[in-house]
């Protein structure tokens, strides 16, 4: 079993660098399909799907009813929007401008 390492000593910085080199949506899709399992991709897509809805102030239960995403996942995303590193908000704002 793999032991967890700190981010500082992990391959995470290399992965983030690789992601930053993607030049198109098609490249990103190819890379993530190879990198992730279908379940991992679905989990990430579910999280991202609820970001704009939470930013609009839509209630969790309504989001769940509209998307099928679990209230637990919606809560996790909401917590990140409020107390996370700002990554969701950064990209959501960039998408609004694009």
Q: Which domains does the chain have, with CATH numbers?
A: 1-35 (no CATH), 37-98 (1.10.1270.10)
- Residue 89 near residue 66 (C-beta atoms within 8 A): no
Q: Which long-range contacts (CB under 8 A, 24 or more apart) does 18-21 make?
A: none
pTM above 0.85, yes or no: no
Output the pLDDT for position 88.
97
* pLDDT of the residue at 23: 98
Per-residue model confidence (pLDDT) at position 93: 96
Distance CA 89, CA 98 (A): 14
Question: What's the pLDDT at 44?
Answer: 98
Listed as ranges, residues in the chain with pLDDT below 50 are 1
The pLDDT, as a whole number, for residue 74 is: 98
Report helix angle 38-55 to 87-97, nearest 10.
70
The pLDDT of residue 10: 83
Question: Based on C-alpha coordinates, what's the Rg of the chain?
Answer: 15
Per-residue confidence (pLDDT) for residue 86, from 0 to 100: 96
Tokens 């990103």 correspond to 28
């Amino acid at each position: 079993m793999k032991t967890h390492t700190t981010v500082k000593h992990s391959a995470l910085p290399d992965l983030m660098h690789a992601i930053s080199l993607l030049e198109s949506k098609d490249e990103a899709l190819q890379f993530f399909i190879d990198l992730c399992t279908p379940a991992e991709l679905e989990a990430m897509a579910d999280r991202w799907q609820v970001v704009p809805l939470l930013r609009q102030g839509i209630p969790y239960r309504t989001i769940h009813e509209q998307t099928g995403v679990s209230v637990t996942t919606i809560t996790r995303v909401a917590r990140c929007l409020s107390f996370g590193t700002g990554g969701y908000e950064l990209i959501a704002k960039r998408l609004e401008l694009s």
